[in-house]
Structure 1
Amino acid sequence: MNFRIQYDRQDEFLPICEDFNEMAVRLKESVTKIQQQEQNRKELLAGISHDIRSPLTSIQAYVEGLMDGVARTPKVQRSYLATIKTKVEDLDRMVSQLFLFSKMELGDYPENSIRLRLDEKIEAAVLEAKEEYKEHGLQLITDLTPVTVTADPIQLERVISNVMGNSLKYKEQEKGLLRISLIKNGATCTLTFDDDGPGVPEEALPHLFEAFYRSDPARQNPQKGSGLGLAIVKSIITHAGGSIQAKRSEFGGLKIEICLSCEEGSESDGKNTDRGR
């Protein structure tokens, strides 16, 4: 595949040689793409095995404890059963995320786009989650400009929920902060999630949206989630014609920046809805 024909004469054989060289280039690119896909498949399978093994091991240990009589009192038995239930729910969420990701990889996306106010969608998501997040020590602050987009509302909810949940999962301090801002610039808008969590190394930022990315030590614990949340977010945003990137946050943590197309006209009175949660 690396062989090329060197032919300098200006005769009838020159186009044939050029076609051969072009075919060799395309063949090499095709083989490289297939090899990369195979490597991605292996990494995906390794990630699935890694993440499923942990809750299964816990379930097995607690079931054996119940069978062997280690949990002697009703109180301890209930505690064991509650832990088993939690691990089963973790597995269910993991399988659901994997199923969704697999469908997206095959190009199976819902096509239910409608006109909607993105700022109102974000406010609704924050309102729904604020009590739970407050209990876990994460304060939500919004700074939102009214913006109208055309998008699938369910997929937008998934994007907002997954990114917010990512900040909650990796919060290390007792109290944390997540600032969600939305600004508009003509026919585009930028949605930003800024947290003060542990952040990630600079070299890891471009890889955060890869399924089961493991090079960042802070993200190697399968109990933190399925490893697919941000990969699903990128897939949704890319399919919608937008872009997403990860940066270092001004608060010392992680910044997720999403750019989407929006309507150019003014919404409402054009004022921001700035609220602390």
Structure 2
Amino acid sequence: MKFFRSLLAKYMLIIFLAISIVQLSYFAIAAFMFGIGKTDFSSEVLMESEVEEKWLEEAKSIKNFTEETIAQHFKEWKDQYPKSSMFWVSEDGTLLTTLNVTEQLPLKWTPAFTTKFIKDHYGEDPFTVIAFLGQDESNGFIVFEIPREVFNPPLKNVYEQYGPIILFGVIAIILFFIVVSFLFFRGIRKRLLHLQEAMEIRDVDGLPIATKVKKKDEIGQLEHSFNRMVCELRESKDREQKEEQLRRELIANLSHDLRTPLTKIRAQSYSISKETLSEDGKQAIKAMETSIVNIDALIENLMSYTLLTASKYKFEPKDINVIRFVREQLTTWYPVFEKEGFEIDIELHPFEKNEWQVDSIWLGRIFDNLFQNILRHANSGKYIGVETESTEHYDAFIIKDYGKGMKNESDAKGAGIGLSIVDIMVKGMDLNWDIESSESGTKIKIKHYK
């Protein structure tokens, strides 16, 4: 049963029907052509030599040369060959008995006309046989004429008479097969295109839409497999979303739980720093406070990254003067870099249009993360440069350092999350950014296209 529902079985059925129709058409044509009494399948094909030999022999066998005898002889041949015509010319050249003669013949035949008649009819149409009566050539002669078409094979006569009809029938059969094949393959193509469209169209969850299975052939099995794949993808995505939700909740809860003891450690380290300590103790307290700050920053980045990936981080874009905003950011960071002994190079020039539609909190977080990374990873270069750049296509802020590059191993951890946050926030505000990093330093360019 599975085979009979397949496309192969359907196409084999089309081929079988085409062959059957061709054969039935030939039988129908044959029945029409030969079954109406015009020609018989069983009739033998006439041979010119046989007819000629028979006419000559029977002419020699005639003994009584009267008009009645000749007329009876003509009648017998007429019954056998309905399309034939015959006439008798006596020994003195007189035209006597005629049967079914349509051409104009003279009543008196001269030797010259007889010679011309023989010359004109030799090898021409109709086929002509001249025979002398009896055993004596002085008894005159009888003439037998018949169209040459009667000597043609039956099929040749059929094609000569009904050729256009047969040709039209063959063309009609071929066209019928072409149309049926076209409809068959067009149906296959239409179903494949429908399946392709279902693969390309996405539902609200970003997954393909299941297609309707109408038949149980190979394409139907493919559609069924596609629907099963879509179902499995949707189940997998649901599991992934649930796992992602659990992960985010775990990170959020963990971040909240870590901050409580971290606050207590910070308070205790502050209390210890008020006591009288040795130089080693003071250095230990200072290192602990630095670690507390770093851990707090890591927790903050982890929390922010979780909220950003969940699209739950508050985003309120508005037009702000970015030149003034970056100057204010640098004002808060200037003492920090100066304390660390950095060479600070700031060169901010106004843009043609200073207002960008951005979220000030997001933009501030971007610069904070980038400056923090320079402090952690490019401290050895002791340099930070912030400048502006304007081109025909974009305005940009450029942040440079002379550190060992991003490929260099650093003792500080968490820079990956910080840059991931920068990437999400930059793209979320329809900005762009480039990073060029080598062993001689790093240059980050934040672009706003015009």
Q: TM-score, normalised by structure 1?
A: 0.60
Q: Give a deviation string over 1:145-197, Cα, whole Å, max 9, x none.
A: 42320111121111112112212221253x53222232234564333222211
* Structure 2 counterpart of 1:89: 293
- Paired with 1:243 and 1:100, the residues of 2 have a C-alpha distance of 20
Distance 1:81 1:169, change over 3 A: closer
* Structure 1 counterpart of 2:312: 108
- Paired with 2:238 and 2:343, the residues of 1 have a C-alpha distance of 44
Say whether residues 1:119 and 2:326 are aligned partners: no
* Structure 2 counterpart of 1:228: 417
Say whether residues 1:248 and 2:437 are aligned partners: yes
* Structure 1 counterpart of 2:382: 176
Say whether residues 1:19 and 2:207 are aligned partners: no
Of 228-237 and 124-133, more deviation after overlay is shown by: 124-133
- Paired with 1:259 and 1:33, the residues of 2 have a C-alpha distance of 37
* Structure 2 counterpart of 1:143: 347
Aligned-residue offset at 1:141: 2.1
Distance 1:155 1:248, change over 3 A: same
* Structure 1 counterpart of 2:184: none
Q: Give a deviation string over 1:18-56, Cα, whole Å, max 9, x none.
A: 535655776797769988x989x7xx99xx9xxx9xxx9
- Paired with 1:196 and 1:256, the residues of 2 have a C-alpha distance of 12
Aligned-residue offset at 1:78: 5.5
* Structure 1 counterpart of 2:400: 194
* Structure 1 counterpart of 2:49: none
- Paired with 1:16 and 1:180, the residues of 2 have a C-alpha distance of 63
Do the aligned partners of 2:346 and 2:386 also contact (CA within 8 Å) in 1? yes
Distance 1:221 1:93, change over 3 A: closer
* Structure 2 counterpart of 1:210: none
- Paired with 1:34 and 1:253, the residues of 2 have a C-alpha distance of 43
* Structure 2 counterpart of 1:161: 368
Identity over aligned pairs, percent: 15
Aligned-residue offset at 1:135: 2.5
User: What amino acid maps onto 1:254 in structure 2?
Assistant: T
User: What amino acid maps onto 2:277 in structure 1?
Assistant: K
* Structure 2 counterpart of 1:129: 333
- Paired with 1:29 and 1:200, the residues of 2 have a C-alpha distance of 37
Say whether residues 1:75 and 2:75 are aligned partners: no
Do the aligned partners of 1:245 and 1:257 also contact (CA within 8 Å) in 2? yes
Q: Looking at both structures, which has the greater relative contact order when contacts are Cα pairs under 8 Å and sequence separation is at least 6? A: 1
* Structure 1 counterpart of 2:139: none
- SS of the residue aligned with 2:315? coil
Distance 1:241 1:16, change over 3 A: farther
- Paired with 2:399 and 2:239, the residues of 1 have a C-alpha distance of 35
Q: TM-score, normalised by structure 2?
A: 0.39
Cα-Cα RMSD:
4.4
User: What amino acid maps onto 2:326 in structure 1?
Assistant: I
Aligned residues: 221
Say whether residues 1:239 and 2:428 are aligned partners: yes
- Paired with 2:229 and 2:399, the residues of 1 have a C-alpha distance of 42
Distance 1:221 1:163, change over 3 A: closer
- Paired with 2:238 and 2:390, the residues of 1 have a C-alpha distance of 37
Distance 1:128 1:38, change over 3 A: same
- SS of the residue aligned with 1:228? helix
Aligned-residue offset at 1:136: 1.4
Of residues 217, 232, 239 in structure 1, which corresponds to 2:409?
A: 217
User: What amino acid maps onto 2:377 in structure 1?
Assistant: Y
Distance 1:234 1:29, change over 3 A: farther
Please identify which structure carries the higher helix content. Answer: 2
Say whether residues 1:257 and 2:257 are aligned partners: no
- SS of the residue aligned with 2:277? helix
Larger Rg: 2
- Paired with 2:238 and 2:389, the residues of 1 have a C-alpha distance of 38
Do the aligned partners of 1:97 and 1:226 also contact (CA within 8 Å) in 2? no
- Paired with 1:96 and 1:229, the residues of 2 have a C-alpha distance of 10
Do the aligned partners of 2:377 and 2:412 also contact (CA within 8 Å) in 1? no
Aligned-residue offset at 1:198: 0.2
